[in-house]
Amino acid sequence: MSHDGCSGSFSNGKMMADKVRQMGFNEQLMPMPFDLECENCKTIFEMAQFETHCPACDMVYAVTPCHAFDPVHIMAAGIGY
């Protein structure tokens, strides 16, 4: 399996979530959690794992470990994805 999480580009959140899951990082804690506003329901919640679900609507968010230091790289993958 290639590891292009740092150099790879992701055109959507589903690709990002799939990559994080493929690398086995989806349940691991991020180095620094972020408060995030859900783009679907506007709930503010803490994103503490590389894959996190909005507690209100189950929108899935993901970020690769290489990009976990800047919230601009966090992408939504879809509700229940």
DSSP string, 51-74: EEE-TTT-EEEE--GGGTT-GGG-
At residue 14's C-alpha, the angle toward residues 10 and 57, to 5°, is 130
Residue 75 belongs to what domain range? Answer: 13-79
Provide the domain count of the chain.
1
3-state SS, residue 79: strand
Let me know if residue 55 belongs to a domain.
yes
Let me know if residue 8 belongs to a domain.
no
Instruction: Give residue-wise pLDDT tens across range 48-80.
Output: 999 999 999 999 999 999 999 999 999 999 999
**Residues found in the chain:** 81
Paired tokens of 66: 């290489």
Let me know if residue 1 belongs to a domain.
no
Mean residue pLDDT across the chain: 91
Let me know if residue 4 belongs to a domain.
no
